[in-house]
């Protein structure tokens, strides 16, 4: 029996089959969860990718359009989930990040507020917005899990996305505080660099992917999202019943090192 048997889990962020969200959905299904996907910007594209999940081309999960910056999409989400047969959710996975090019890649000192605001809206505030949109269906408690990139350091090229992630870390702690009484846990997985669309769109990100395996004591494979997705699944499960406001590092151990050995 899988660790997510009987759980109903909403997974965002499935853009390609390299997306962290895709691997989370895959492992969630393998562990017994019933999965529903949300999609942005093209639900037809996500629906095509969804056919590659373990439930196969004949029984892919429902795909609902959701731009986390669109209030109408958020307001209608609970109703659309009910129509899709999900009248209860036990888990919500936030695998969403976006920053305009101007906010990344070494342009930190020149980035205008409008671009910073977009990054924070899409990548930080969206954790609260998504959670609140799903809350009417989380009637029996549950778990919210988001994807983080360790925001305790200033990284090369990550720039305003790093600031947005620092906000995400804080946001998850406040959500943990306010939703704990409803028995909803809120945690983040801080992953090392992975070869996804979001990562490729950051100019100069190779610098980080080259350095990571040299510093991480367990090594690091930028093509392997399995460890990250497993940690998300574990946090969605009943195996972390007293853990909330936490950040689990899935980075080969790099965060604990002072440099290459």
Ligand X SMILES: NC(=O)c1ccc[n+]([C@@H]2O[C@H](COP(=O)([O-])OP(=O)(O)OC[C@H]3O[C@@H](n4cnc5c(N)ncnc54)[C@H](O)[C@@H]3O)[C@@H](O)[C@H]2O)c1
Strand partners, 189: 147, 248
Q: Could you tell me the sign of the dihedral formed by the alpha carbons of 118, 133, 228, 241, in that order? A: positive
The two structure tokens encoding residue 26 = 């895959």
Q: Could you tell me the sign of the dihedral formed by the alpha carbons of 178, 35, 19, 42, in that order? A: negative
197 near ligand X, rule: CB under 6 A? yes
122 near ligand X, rule: CB under 6 A? yes
69 near ligand X, rule: CB under 6 A? yes
Alpha carbons 246 and 143: distance in angstroms, whole number: 12
DSSP 38-56: EESS-HHHHHHHHTTSTTT
40 near ligand X, rule: CB under 6 A? yes
Rule CB under 6 A: choose which of 86, 149, 158, 220 binds ligand X: 149
Q: Is 174 a catalytic residue?
A: no
- Looking at the Cβ atoms of 29 and 196, the one nearer to ligand X is 196
At CA 134, angle to CA 64 and CA 11, rounded to 5? Answer: 50
* Residue 98 C-alpha from the chain's centroid: 12
The two structure tokens encoding residue 102 = 């101007």
Size of the site for ligand X (CB under 6 A): 28
Place of tokens 């109903």: 8
Place of tokens 């439930």: 55
Q: Is 158 a catalytic residue?
A: yes
162 near ligand X, rule: CB under 6 A? no
Rule CB under 6 A: choose which of 13, 60, 61, 252 binds ligand X: 13
- Looking at the Cβ atoms of 19 and 244, the one nearer to ligand X is 19
Binding mask 73-102 for ligand X (x = CB under 6 A): ----------------------xxxx----
- Looking at the Cβ atoms of 86 and 149, the one nearer to ligand X is 149
Active-site residue, selected from the candidate residues 125, 153, 165, 182: 165
Contact residues toward ligand X (CB under 6 A) are 12-16, 19-21, 40, 66-69, 95-98, 122, 147-149, 191, 193-194, 196-199
Catalytic residue numbers, as ranges: 158, 165
């Amino acid at each position: 029996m899988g660790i997510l048997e009987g759980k109903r889990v909403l997974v965002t962020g499935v853009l390609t089959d390299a997306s962290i969200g895709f691997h989370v959905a895959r492992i969630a299904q393998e562990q017994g969860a019933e999965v529903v996907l949300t999609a942005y910007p093209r639900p037809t594209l996500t629906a095509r990718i969804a056919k590659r999940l373990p439930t196969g081309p004949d029984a892919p999960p429902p795909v609902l359009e959701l731009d986390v910056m669109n209030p109408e999409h958020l307001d209608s989400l609970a109703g659309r989930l009910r129509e899709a047969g999900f009248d209860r959710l036990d888990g919500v996975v936030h695998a969403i990040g976006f920053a305009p090019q101007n906010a990344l890649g070494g342009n930190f000192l020149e980035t205008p507020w409008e671009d910073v605001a977009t990054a924070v809206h899409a990548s930080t505030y969206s954790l609260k917005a998504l959670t609140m949109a799903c809350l009417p269906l989380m009637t029996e408690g549950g778990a919210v899990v988001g994807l983080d990139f360790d925001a305790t350091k200033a990284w090369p090229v990550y720039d305003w996305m790093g600031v947005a992630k620092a906000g995400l870390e804080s946001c998850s702690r406040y959500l943990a505080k306010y939703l704990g009484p409803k028995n909803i846990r809120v945690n983040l997985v801080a992953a090392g660099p992975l070869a996804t669309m979001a990562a490729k769109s950051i100019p100069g990100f190779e610098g980080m992917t080259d350095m990571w395996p040299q510093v991480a004591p367990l090594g690091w494979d930028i093509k392997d999202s399995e460890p990250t997705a497993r940690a998300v699944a574990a946090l969605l499960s009943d195996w972390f019943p007293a853990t909330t406001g936490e950040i689990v590092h899935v980075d080969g151990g790099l965060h604990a090192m002072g440099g290459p050995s």
